[in-house]
Chain A
Amino acid sequence: MLLYTLQRLLQSVAVLFAVSIAVFLAVYSVGNPVDLLINPEATQAERAAMISKMGLDRPVWAQYLTFLGNALQGDMGVSFVHGIPALELIFSRMPATFELVVLALLLASVVGIPIGLWVGLRDGSRGARAVMTGSILGYSIPSFWKGMVLILVFAVWLNWLPASGRGDTVSLLGVPFSFLTLDGLSHLAMPVINLAIPNLALMIRLTAAGASEAVHQDYVLFARAKGVRSKRIVRRHILRNILIPIITVLGVEFGALIAFSTITETVFAWPGMGKLLITSIYQLDRPVVVAYVMLITFIFVVVNLLVDFAYAALDPRVKLVESM
């Protein structure tokens, strides 16, 4: 167990290191930030001063080493556009994205798991087949277009919900959140639904597949033969067994949704990390893009680690030792 943990940790560090090099080189070749950020009417001396202040005049590898050294100390550089530390800028947008992602995951599982169970236990019936086909539709609709249709219907035609922004926020432990105010909730509704729909489809399919397989397992037949009531079989035996893959996927999806919320945030002008990333790409704000990618890689690595450990903890059959 200890060996495996160490091995996984080492792997994670290697991944972070590889990504840092790849990303730095990649973003280094995006346009020329000098032309973009410095006033075209600036004098030659002013330009030179700006360039050396930003370190843009040094060789790539020197810039990378400085970058790595600073990154290890939590300094990812200063945003060219906003003039504040890139990491600080991203952290300030993080609660908005997390709020969206957590609520979307919650919605997807609270609605999706019961529907999935229902479908799985009635495998092959007309209703179950309709839900399964509907779920294909659920993950086929392009997210950006779905968001626009939501805006069209609920904001433009019906005028029920606001089309963009976060609305009123309440500070909770110093972090602003929207879900505690009525206005905030009305702003949250559409982005959360938009982000949740593909996941809802995924939850339904996953639970249904697990349940329809579990019904025919010996332990279910045995419980039934023993005279255990159907409700109890579903709750205590089936659900408990199929929960493991569901929790794994929920973990993986948490990371994926942070990346996918970029699309939803762009459509609904939601001031989160994803929107920040897109704007930074447009503005060639190199430090912010690099900091974002490094941060999200870090989140992914941590989530994957946690999922693997949780998997091992939940399922005693999983052996952790793996040969390299």
Chain B
Amino acid sequence: MDSIRSPRKDDEPVAVRQPLTDTPQRRAMLGKLKRRPSVKASLIALLVITLTGLCLPFLAQQDPYDLTAFSVMDNRLPPMSESFDGMVFWLGTDGQGRDMLSAILYGMRISLLVGLVSTALALIIGVSVGLVAAVLGGRIEAMLMRLVDFVLGFPSILVALVLLAMIGRGVDKVILAIVMVQWANYARIMRSSALSERRKEYVEAAHNLGFGTGRVMFRHIMPNSLSAVLVLATVQIASAITLEATLSFLGVGVPVTEPSLGLLVANGFDYLMSGAYWISFYPGIALLILIFSLNLVGDRLRTALDPKRS
């Protein structure tokens, strides 16, 4: 339940005992969900963050990677102060005189990118493994699920930390580490929800029509078991972003040339004691808004889709 760990040991998540089909009731439920103020606020926040990331170069008043764009003369200015040439630093500047707001916008883009890419990759791998395990069964299933148990048996932060200590820093390497610890979550959920789908009549019908295993797997079982996986994915994006930020904070994540929000917080740590709190405070707020919105939407979605509630 915590964003970066998965203490739940039992096979089936409380979340979705059986995948829901696209019924009018469910549409109504999702429609009602979208109107709830907390969900609305979170969705708007996520939309704004994504759009900001997309059209960043037009929005940021300074390129934080361009060393000629800022001056050390402006270092550690508190929020709302003005630069030498009249630019306003809404959120202050860091130790090198970089505009914090611009750095945060760029950092947010990296955090979001890492979160989305690693979640997508982990989802594809996990769903395939879970599906194969559920459909083929037998020894292969037992083996794959042992592996899943093994991976989930360790806290993600520890596995990722040791892995990155070995392969070094880098955006691609962080993504690899996150995929390594997250795919198993999808595999587990996909398997249990595919298992319950497999017993249904339409699957039997498809088999009887002579469709091959592959076709039944990907065209019939998978689409019908995806809703549980997608609810999980919402929360997993948040957990991927948290993991990336934490690893970067600990100094094994993204390289200093591409500072994500976690690295920005780490950079500000040294100035904290001297009272220059804004260097690490505001990147953390941005991180928090991102993670909290995702977790909130994920939680509401899970409750709304929980068949026990309806």
Which of A15, A142, A266, A281 is within 8 Å of B242, CB to CB? Answer: A142
Q: Which of B92-100, B101-109, B280-288 contacts A (4 or more CB under 8 A)?
A: B280-288
Q: Which of B3-11, B54-62, B226-234 contacts A (4 or more CB under 8 A)?
A: B3-11
Q: Would you call B162 and A293 a contact (CB within 8 A)?
A: yes
Q: How long is the Cα–Cα vector from A79 to B277 in the complex, in angstroms?
A: 37
Does chain B have a CB within 8 A of A143? yes
Q: Is A255 an interface residue (CB 8 A)?
A: yes
Q: Is A158 an interface residue when CB atoms closer than 8 A count as contact? A: no
A249's nearest neighbour on chain B, judged by CB, is B7
Given the complex of chains A and B, what is the CA–CA distance between A252 and B268 in angstroms? Answer: 34
Contacts of B265 in A (CB 8 A): 142, 144-145, 148
> At the interface, yes or no: B251 with Cβ under 8 Å from chain A?
yes
Report the bound CA distance from A248 to B10 in whole Å.
Answer: 11
Is B272 touching A142 in the complex (CB atoms < 8 A)? Answer: no
Interface residue? A26 (CB, 8 A) = yes
A175 at the interface (CB under 8 A from B): no
Contact of B277 (CB < 8 Å), options: A156, A206, A253: A156
B contact face: mostly helix, strand, loop, or mixed: helix
| Cross-interface CB contact of B1 among A141, A205, A266, A304, cutoff 8 Å | A205
Interface size range of chain A in the complex: 35 or more
User: Which residues of chain B come closer than 8 Å to A262, judged between CB atoms?
Assistant: 157-158, 161, 250
Q: How many residues of B contact A (CB 8 A)?
A: 47
State whether A152 and B14 are in contact (beta carbons under 8 Å apart), knowing that A248-B9, A260-B155 are contacts in the complex.
Answer: no
A-B contacts, CB under 8 A, total: 131
Within 8 Å of chain B (Cβ to Cβ): is A104? no
Q: Are B284 and A163 in contact (CB under 8 A)?
A: no
Q: Are B161 and A281 in touch, CB under 8 angstroms?
A: yes
Distance A297 CA – B153 CA, assembled complex (angstroms): 9
16 contacts between A and B (CB under 8 A): A136-B292, A139-B1, A141-B292, A142-B265, A143-B246, A148-B265, A148-B272, A156-B275, A202-B1, A256-B155, A259-B158, A262-B158, A278-B251, A281-B161, A289-B165, A324-B142
Extra pairs beyond A133-B296, A137-B292, A144-B245 (8, CB < 8 Å): A142-B288, A143-B246, A144-B246, A144-B262, A148-B284, A163-B273, A281-B161, A281-B252
Which residues does B use to contact A, with CB under 8 Å?
1-3, 5, 7, 9, 14, 38, 142, 150, 153-155, 157-158, 161-163, 165-166, 238, 242, 245-246, 249-252, 262, 265-266, 268-269, 272-273, 275, 277, 280-281, 284, 287-288, 291-292, 295-296, 299
